[in-house]
Amino acid sequence: MNNMKKASLFSILILLTILVNGQANKLSIGIIGSPDYYNYQFKSIPSFDHEYKTQTNYSLGLSMNYNFSEKFSFKTGLLFSTKGYILNYSWVTAEPNDPLIPQESNIKLSYLGIPLLVSYDFLHLDKLSLFASTGIVTSFLIKEKEISTMGDGTEKETEFSKTSFNQNFSTALFAIDFEIGLKYNLSERLFISIAPYLRYGLNKISDEVLESNPMAYGARFGVHFNL
């Protein structure tokens, strides 16, 4: 938690510095969102035929872009992201319609991410720009929740997968991010962006769940305003 507070404070200081110098240095702020697809390689659970299943996650938040020159800029922001998955159970001796035995658990993990990226515009036209960005994204766990569908069809919040299979989740995640995209100016102040991305995780959401560090891909969509 201390690391999260320090990183959040550092990010806020960066954003405030950018805001102070925004008029002279071409600052833009925006809202971005993306569907996120993870290639989780799950470990098997010893003595059981339970199966994990990936699901589509998403990110949503604020972005800031600070232009150092016509070509180079620095990008940061705050992103709320989900990184969950589903665990399907395969019981051999469970009674059908048992309200105490889960059939499926939806593991919901929420993280707050702080991207620190360097961006380069390799094509800059009157209305259209093409760019590439790369850097580090640090994410901090802010919420974990498990919703299970029981044998009788009811849903309730449980901790079954955590207590039964010792699933613990990383409080901080680090990843290398690369994106390539385009910006289109709707007016002098307003522009939109789309940026397909690829991200390689430097650690796992859970050492007990994943076999290897994950990769993710998706496309970020944004609406931005030049200050």
Structure confidence by residue, pLDDT tens digits, 63-104: 999 988 888 999 999 999 999 999 998 887 667 778 888 899
- DSSP class per residue in 69-106: SSSEEEEEEEEEEE--EEEE---SSPPTT-TTSEEEEE
Domain over 2-226 is classified CATH 1.20.120.530: no
Q: What is the pTM of this model?
A: 0.85
Task: Return phi, psi of residue 79, to 5°.
Answer: -125, 125
* pLDDT of res. 64: 94
pLDDT at 37 over 60: yes
Residues in Cβ contact with 69 at an 8 Å cutoff, skipping those fewer than 6 apart: none
End-to-end distance of the chain based on CA atoms, in angstroms?
Answer: 34
Look at residue 22 in the predicted model and tell me its pLDDT: 45
In contact, 133 and 105? CB cutoff 8 Å = no
Look at residue 17 and tell me whether its pLDDT is greater than 50.
yes
Is the predicted pLDDT of residue 12 greater than 80, yes or no? no
In the predicted model, what is the mean pLDDT of residues 107-116?
96
Pairing of strands 155-157, 102-124: unpaired
Among 19-23, 101-105, 135-139, the least confident range: 19-23
In this prediction, residue 16 has a pLDDT band, given cuts at 50, 70 and 90, of: low
Residue 7 has pLDDT above 70, yes or no: no
Identify which of 58, 72, 71, 76 has the alpha carbon closest to the alpha carbon of residue 19: 76
Confidence of residue 14 (pLDDT cuts 50, 70, 90): low
Residue 23's pLDDT band, with cuts at 50, 70 and 90, is very low
**76 near 115, Cβ under 8 Å?**
yes
Torsion of CA 34, 135, 200, 11, to 10 degrees: -70
Task: Please give the mean pLDDT across all residues of the chain.
Answer: 88
Greatest mean pLDDT among 15-24, 153-162, 181-190 = 181-190
Smallest Cα–Cα separation from 197: which of 35, 21, 10, 18? 35
Helix (H, G, I), strand (E, B) or coil at 59: strand
